[in-house]
């Protein structure tokens, strides 16, 4: 059994701060013979699913977590020179904990987002069930108080966290990246643990995979701040120790605290989260009395075809029957009714919509329901590109709404089906080679002329 598990790990989804790509991170953990690994990006769960899948593929137990920014006081306060938020690492022990992680991430990035995503102690206490908490790095509340010599306040803060998370669910976090301040802090954390009985846990604050990637990570930090790596007044990590260390390296660093190493394995053993993928969890469309969804969809489509074409020809009937049989057979009738419903709302309220994009334009059902505005029969478009019974995947209808009024449609859908059943998604843009070279060149302080010449030497072909 692995004698150490990394529980404080940042991936590329700690944007412009984490330089550990998930695939490389998991591959290295596998190479080191690690049986489990955590992900704890800054106030987000963007990487949770790809991390979970990568770990499962490598037969490593995934532990889903997050490093929170916690403030005192009201989340609505917008004070420029307020005290810096404290860091706190939270890990999902079970499904309840995972749901609370999702809630904390949502609150942090919506209600609490001011300069950085934040939660306060009230929100934290409300969503603590099913979570295991680590006191955090030097920027944790307990750590900050101990470094400031405020031992009593640190004791009270530690006891508050233990009360909130539970007797067995709060740990004092030891870390050693070669900093003198950490060594002073660790001695005080050990003493606090002895006084309170709060157990210790050893971590390494991973921000890149291999030790020799320290310079790349430093460049990333400079890009984040729009500065060069030579500038003195910028944020930087003072040593090259923030990498995925082996169990042996961690054992050597914390030889004085074997219990803190053993607790990493105990925590990993307790964390048991199973995520399921591929299940369709659509809400049901509220139907008129006496109708089932297949009947109702067919009646709407027949009415729509008569409006579009003036009559129902044998060709239209054959195509409609074919599409409806596939839609019904794959279980997506409610999906089409839901999309028809909010498109109808947009049209009734004068909200401009696009004509339809992608494979959905090949659907007569979508055309009849006025979801799209492209006639698939006229242009001889294939329905099977959109929905194929041989390879059942969720239909994806790309719809454009007026940017000025799209919020009205989102509000309508959330009100009708419940705010807990509607979510917005994020798309990450990645830099092409030329843009990456330009950013790195600026961070290195190279001349703009040289950067431009080098960038223009890179072909602009796709995937470059």
Residue 100 shares a structural domain with residue 248: yes
205 and 313 part of one domain: no
Per the structure, how many domains does the chain have?
Answer: 3
70 assigned to some structural domain: yes
Q: CA 348, CA 327: separation in Å to the nearest integer?
A: 26
pLDDT value at residue 2: 58
Rounded Cα distance between 230 and 443, Å, is 9
Which has the closest alpha carbon to 377: 363, 395, 397? 363
Taking phi first (over 0 means left), then psi (-120 to 50 degrees means alpha), and beta for anything else, what does residue 356 get? left
Domain that holds residue 266: 22-270
How confident is the model over 90-116, as pLDDT tens digits? Answer: 999 999 999 999 999 999 999 999 999
**Residue 404 pLDDT class (50, 70, 90 cuts):** very high
Q: Are 83 and 163 part of one and the same domain?
A: yes
DSSP 235-292: ---SSS--B---HHHHHHHTTT-HHHHHHHHHHHHH-------S---PPPP-PPTT--
pLDDT in tens, 307-324: 999 999 999 999 999 999
Bridge partners of 243? Answer: 208
Q: How far apart are CA 385 and CA 124, in angstroms?
A: 46
Q: Is the pLDDT at 1 greater than 50, yes or no? A: no
Residues 196 and 319 both lie in one domain: no
Q: Are residues 452 and 382 in the same domain?
A: no
Residue 127 lies in a domain: yes
Q: Which pLDDT score is estimated for 171?
A: 98
Task: Identify whether residues 442 and 412 lie together within a single domain.
Answer: no
| Confidence at 396, pLDDT banded by 50, 70, 90 | confident
pLDDT in tens, 123-154: 999 999 999 999 999 999 999 999 999 999 99
37 shares its domain with 136: yes
Whether residues 352 and 214 fall in one domain: no
Residues 200 and 340 in one domain: no
CATH of the domain at 82: 3.20.20.140
Counting other chains too, the contacts that 449-455 makes at CB distance below 8 Å and 24 or more residues apart are: none
pLDDT tens readout for residues 330-381: 999 999 999 999 999 999 999 999 999 899 999 999 999 999 999 999 999 9
**30-33-36 Cα angle (round to 5):** 75
What's the pTM value of the predicted model, to 2 decimals? Answer: 0.92
Q: Decide if 168 is inside a domain.
A: yes
11 in a domain, yes or no? no
Q: What is the pLDDT of residues 221-267, one digit of tens each?
A: 999 999 999 999 999 999 999 999 999 999 999 999 999 999 999 99
- Closest Cα to residue 124, out of 83, 86, 175, 95? 86
Q: What is the DSSP string of 39-99?
A: EEEET--TTHHHHHHHHHHTT-EEEEEEEEEEESS-TT---TTPPPPEEEEEEESSHHHHH
pLDDT tens, position by position, 13-27: 999 999 999 999 999
Alpha-carbon span 304 to 312, nearest angstrom: 10
> Does 378 map to a domain?
yes
Whether residue 138 is found in the same domain as residue 159: yes
Residue 179: per-residue pLDDT: 98
Is residue 159 situated within a structural domain?
A: yes
**DSSP H or E run through 231:** none
Mean pLDDT, residues 161-175: 98
Reduce the secondary structure of 74-86 to three states and give it as a string.
Answer: CCCCCCCCCCCCE
- Answer yes or no: do 105 and 232 share one domain: yes
With 80 as the cut, is the pLDDT of residue 463 above it?
no
Residue 447 is assigned to a structural domain of this protein: yes
pLDDT at position 372 is 97
Q: Determine, yes or no, domain membership for 280.
A: no
Q: Facing residues of 175 across strands?
A: 203
Question: Tens digit of pLDDT for each residue in 30-62?
Answer: 999 999 999 999 999 999 999 999 999 999 999
What's the pLDDT tens digit per position in 408-445? 999 999 999 998 889 888 888 888 899 999 999 999 99
Indicate which CATH number applies to the domain containing 439: 1.10.10.1600
The model's pLDDT over 277-310, given as tens digits with 9 standing for 90+, comes to 988 888 899 999 999 999 999 999 999 999 999 9
pLDDT for position 394: 85
Phi, psi of 284 (to 5 degrees): -85, 140
SS3 of 202, please?
A: strand
> Are residues 236 and 121 located together in one domain of the fold?
yes
């Amino acid at each position: 059994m692995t004698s150490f598990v990394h529980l404080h790990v940042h991936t590329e989804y700690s944007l412009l701060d984490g330089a550990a790509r998930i695939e490389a991170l998991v591959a290295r953990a596998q190479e080191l013979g690690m049986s489990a690994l955590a992900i704890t990006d800054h106030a987000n769960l963007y990487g949770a699913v790809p991390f979970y899948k990568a770990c499962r593929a490598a037969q490593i137990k995934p532990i889903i977590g997050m490093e929170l920014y916690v403030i005192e006081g009201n989340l609505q306060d917008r004070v420029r020179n307020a005290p810096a938020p404290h860091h706190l690492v939270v890990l999902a022990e079970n499904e309840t904990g995972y749901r609370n992680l999702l809630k904390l991430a949502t609150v942090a990035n919506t209600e609490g987002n001011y300069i950085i995503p934040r939660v306060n102690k009230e929100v934290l206490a409300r969503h603590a069930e099913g979570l295991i908490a680590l006191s955090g790095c030097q920027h944790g509340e307990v750590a900050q108080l101990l470094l400031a010599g405020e031992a009593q306040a640190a004791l009270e803060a530690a006891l508050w966290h233990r009360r909130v998370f539970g007797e067995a669910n709060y740990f004092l976090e030891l870390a050693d990246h070669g900093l003198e301040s950490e060594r002073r802090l660790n001695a005080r954390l050990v003493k606090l643990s002895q006084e309170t009985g709060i157990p210790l846990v050893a971590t390494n604050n991973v921000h890149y995979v291999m030790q020799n990637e320290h310079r790349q990570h430093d460049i990333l930090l400079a890009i984040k701040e729009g500065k060069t790596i030579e500038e003195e007044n910028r944020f930087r990590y003072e040593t090259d120790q923030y990498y995925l260390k082996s169990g042996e390296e961690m054992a050597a660093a914390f030889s004085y605290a074997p219990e803190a190493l053993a607790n990493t394995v105990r925590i990993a053993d307790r964390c048991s989260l199973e995520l399921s993928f591929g299940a369709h969890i659509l809400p049901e469309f509220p139907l008129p009395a006496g109708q089932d969804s297949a009947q109702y969809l067919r009646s709407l489509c027949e009415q729509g075809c008569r409006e579009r074409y003036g009559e129902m020809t044998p060709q239209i009937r054959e195509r409609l029957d074919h599409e409806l049989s596939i839609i019904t057979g794959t279980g997506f009738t409610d999906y089409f009714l839901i999309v028809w419903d909010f498109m109808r709302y947009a049209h009734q309220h004068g909200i401009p919509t696009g004509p339809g994009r992608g494979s959905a334009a090949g659907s007569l059902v979508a055309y009849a329901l006025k979801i799209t505005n492209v006639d698939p029969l006229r242009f001889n478009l294939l329905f099977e590109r959109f929905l194929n019974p041989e390879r059942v995947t969720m239909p994806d209808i790309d719809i454009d709404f007026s940017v000025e009024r799209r919020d009205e449609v989102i509000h309508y859908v959330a009100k009708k089906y419940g705010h807990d059943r509607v979510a917005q998604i994020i798309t990450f843009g990645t830099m092409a080679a030329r843009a990456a070279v330009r950013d790195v060149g600026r961070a290195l302080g190279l001349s703009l002329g040289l950067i431009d010449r080098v960038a223009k030497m890179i072909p602009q072909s796709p995937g470059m």
